[in-house]
Structure 1
Amino acid sequence: MTIGPYDVPARVVSDLVGRALDEDLLPLGDLSAALLPASATATAEFVVRTDGVISGTACATEAFRQVDPAVVVTWHVADGDRVTARQVLGTVTGPLAPVLTAERTALNFLGHLSGIATRTRAFVDAAAPLRVWDTRKTTPGLRSLEKAAVRAGGARNHRGNLSDWVMFKDNHLTALGIVEAVASARDTWPGRTVHVECERMEQVVEALEAGADALLLDNMTPVEVAACVAVADDHAASVGTRRALLEVSGGITLETVGSYARTGADVVSSGSLTNSSPVLDIGLDIDVAT
């Protein structure tokens, strides 16, 4: 099976959904659904209550599949699609009891991940032409799903984990100076990107001269960022190399990101995409036939 840009490997989805179902079903199963007539069937519709962007359809489908493969889920939308209030996203048909058992797990994944995609889309629109990155400020265990939701919202992923590339934050630099840190990274991990956090102009100059590949401009105003961009441009021209990538981060909100849009920086990152996104309100409206 081909993995699309918004997909997570099926085994990851299966494992995470299984863990979520265990929270609801161990040790005795769904006591309420067990009392329903075995002959009862259901036809249900996923209906979104507000405008948004969809993510998490694979998780919702997997929740029903794991509870009962006889339940059939048919989607009218795909991850990454914009949707409007009261739109029907998909249908669920099958035996009533497993539909009800899987309902909350399916909606928890779908609402949470669609909420991330929705906020991300708003951030991307407000930040243009700056590209938008996420961070590692994710729910423990759900990073792969949440980063896929960020992609569905139109942004891109920063590091997936600490092994992706070398990144020196302020706490690293309390023990290593910028020059020493960059030189050590080049020697130890010669094929890795070296990224340095900078809070002041003098650190920017030092990181550029040390040969860092990317700089994180932390908690700077748009005016300060623009000044750093000018310095980085001049440095690249003087040494005849490609300019270091410039990332803007630190306290930037949906309301303020637009002020950074034309500073000349390359990307803006925000932990709020994954740690502060409200759930997209999606319900499962059920009709029952016995």
Structure 2
Amino acid sequence: MEKTLTDFSGFWQRKETQVHLSSWIQSALEEDAATRDLTAALLKNGNESSRARAVIIAKAPGVLCGVEAVVQTLKALDPHLVIRHCAEDGSHVSVGEKVFEADSQAHLLLAGERTALNICGHLSGISTATAEMVSQAGSVSILDTRKTMPGIRRFQKHAVLVGGGVNHRFDLADFPMFKENHRALIQQERPELKQKPDAEMSWIRQRLLEEGYTGTIAIEVEDEASMRACLNEGIEIILVDNIPPAQLSEWLGRAKKDGLPVDASRLEASGGIDQGSLEEHASSGVGRISVGAITHSSPILDLSMSVEAISGNDLRSRRESGSPAAEAAGDTE
């Protein structure tokens, strides 16, 4: 198992992450009626069932993200869960490779199975899709968007980082982004700015300064004149939306010829970009590509959990070995 990325700033250890993860897991377990599983009675002997071992393997190659969510899901059902193997975020797995292994009561492992796999499979799918796009894009940065599922944005954006991507703004308060609707409303309110993109960009910056804002500004453009106006005004992020790569390349070529300050790191292609069109966009002259599909449409990474009873001989062998895992398993019987 190769792990190419090692530092994600302690994401899973952050207090806010733990609070939101606990809320996500509890909501999912309640939705699945995990504590009212009608099969549990057949597996129990009294209040407990036999000890069992859960093993999760990858059924497709990919980049893992969210195995910690598997741990916390199963711990929510069994605080005495004995973890035997747990892969880290950023690990590249192949088909059949073990991702996670733990011991608990059989009925509790089965109760948490679907929630654990749903969360980890979803986040790993985002990481895997991101990694594939990052590989295709070369030196061009791949960014996510705010097209995320309500309530789990922080986890989806973490998965993008794990896959080697870059997070765009987290929310509306990070920095102002003026998109098509914003610009249309401004022009309706101030007709003198219509058909005058240079004046419009200057007005936007000036009004923000009057409001006390001096940070990054992002503006979406869909025509060459607006792009040139943003270059002239020094707009920090210029989103060129829904423009064919060849056409964008021509725009940038003319801008350079005319001596405009063209900086690829400020130019971002967006709008329906997928793996099929990514390489063309990456060669158009931009330094950034934002892809909403990473978080809203990435297929899951297929993971599978097997649950098997632990034999008495296995339990005795582990106790005799004196390992912490063996003793912990014995304590919970």
- Counterpart CA distance in 1 for 2:280 and 2:215 is 32
Q: Work out the CA distance in 2 between the residues paired with 1:44 and 1:184.
A: 59
Moved more, 113-122 or 223-232: 223-232
1:49 is the counterpart of 2:59: yes
1:213 alignment partner in structure 2? 236
Paired position in structure 2 for 1:90: 100
State which of 254, 259, 281 in structure 1 corresponds to 2:275. 254
1:186 to 209, 217, 225: 209
Distance in structure 2 (CA, Å) of the matches to 1:268 and 1:74:
40
Match of 1:101 in 2: 111
| TM superposition shift of 1:244 | 6.7
2:297 to 264, 276, 279: 276
**1:17 counterpart residue number:** 25
1:267, CA displacement in angstroms?
Answer: 0.6
Contact 2:51/2:104, CA 8 A, preserved across alignment: yes
Instruction: Measure the CA separation in 2 of the matches of 1:205 and 1:197.
Output: 12
Q: What are the Cα deviations for residues 85-118 of structure 1, in whole angstroms up to 9, with x where unaligned?
A: 0101120211112111111110000111111111
Q: Residue 260 of structure 2 aligns with which residue?
A: 235
Unaligned runs of 5+ in 1: none
| Partner Cα distance (1:142, 1:116) in 2 | 13
- The one-letter amino acid paired with 1:172 is H
- Cα distance, 1:153 vs structure 2: 0.9
Per-residue deviation, 1:24: 1.7
In the alignment, the residues of structure 2 paired with residue 231 and residue 79 of structure 1 have an alpha-carbon distance, to the nearest angstrom, of: 44
In the TM superposition, residue 208 of structure 1 has moved relative to its aligned partner by: 2.5
Q: CA deviation at 1:190?
A: 2.0
Aligned partner of residue 74 in structure 2, secondary structure? helix
Question: Where does residue 197 of structure 1 map in the other structure?
Answer: 220
Q: Which amino acid aligns with 2:246?
A: V
Q: What do the CA deviations read for 1:187-215 (whole angstroms, capped 9, x no partner)?
A: 32523311000101001122223332110
Count of residues in correspondence between the two structures: 283
Of 170-179 and 180-189, deviating more is 180-189
Please give the secondary structure, in 2, of the residue aligned with 1:204.
helix
When the two chains are superposed, the root-mean-square deviation of aligned CA atoms in Å is 2.1
Match in the other structure for 1:168:
178
In the alignment, is the contact (CA less than 8 A) between 1:236 and 1:243 conserved in 2? no
Whole-angstrom CA distance in 1 between matches of 2:84 and 2:122: 20
Q: What corresponds to 1:288 in structure 2?
A: 309
Cα drift, residue 10 of structure 1: 1.8
- Whether the 8 Å contact between 2:179 and 2:219 is mirrored in structure 1 is yes
Task: Report the AA paired with residue 55 of structure 1.
Answer: C
Q: How does the TM-score come out when normalised to structure 2? A: 0.79
Residue 25 of structure 2 corresponds to residue 4 of structure 1? no
Amino acid at match of 1:213: E
Which residue of structure 1 lines up, in the alignment, with residue 38 of structure 2?
A: 31
Distance 1:218 1:17, change over 3 A: same
Q: Flag the structure with higher helix content.
A: 2
1:116 is the counterpart of 2:126: yes
Provide the C-alpha distance between the structure 2 equivalents of 1:227 and 1:74, rounded to a whole number of angstroms: 57
8 Å Cα contact 2:49-2:107 kept in structure 1? no
Amino acid in the other structure paired with 1:219: N
The aligned residue for residue 68 of structure 1 is 78
Paired amino acid for 1:272: A
User: Residues 232 and 132 of structure 1: is their aligned pair in 2 closer, same or farther, counting only changes over 3 Å?
Assistant: farther
Structure 2 CA distance for aligned equivalents of residues 207 and 244 of structure 1: 14
- 1:197/1:216 contact within 8 Å kept: yes
Alpha-carbon separation, structure 2, partners of 1:152 and 1:75:
20
Indicate conservation of the 8 Å contact 2:208/2:214, yes or no. no
- TM-score w.r.t. length of structure 1: 0.90
Unaligned runs of 5+ in 2: 1-6, 188-199, 312-333
Answer with 16-25 or 267-276: which moved more: 16-25
Separation in structure 2 between the aligned mates of residue 79 and residue 288 of structure 1, nearest angstrom = 28
SS in 2 for 1:236: coil
SS in 2 for 1:46: strand
64-73 or 17-26, larger mean C-alpha shift: 17-26
SS of 1:227's equivalent in the other structure is helix
One-letter code aligned to 2:239: L
Distance of aligned partners of 1:197 and 1:142 in 2 relative to their CA distance in 1, 3 Å threshold: same
